[in-house]
Amino acid sequence: MLRPLWTAAGLLLVGLGIVGLILPMMPGVVFFIAAAFCFARGNPAWEQRLLAHPQIGPHLTAWRSRGAISRKGKRAALTMMAFAAALTWWLVGWPWAAVSSAVLLAVALWIATRPG
């Protein structure tokens, strides 16, 4: 009964992942990780297709096995987060930019501590 919902969520997340690969400030791999999670519950064949994908699959298996993020991925994520923080300070200002920057800093520290 829930399988179609998991599959639909996986498809939505794959769509967001594709958009994330195109847009520089939106992470793509995170959505593919979530899509694989959904497909594991809704459509295991599609999960296997994601895991076997030549570009996305290695990132998914590294995350599943070791919780690892590639150095290139870390560098891109941290650079975009710094850019987003600066843009928020410029466009929004105090106090909202401080809240946003605190969240970005916490996430950046978490990303930096993941194995590479």
pLDDT, one tens digit per residue, over 101-110 is 999 999 999 9
| DSSP of 31-44 | HHHHHHHHHHHH-H
Residue 73 CA to residue 49 CA, distance in Å, equals: 22
Higher pLDDT pick, 34 / 20: 34
**Domain extents in the chain:** 3-66, 71-112
Is the model's pLDDT at 24 over the cut of 90?
no
Residue 44 CA to residue 38 CA, distance in Å, equals: 9
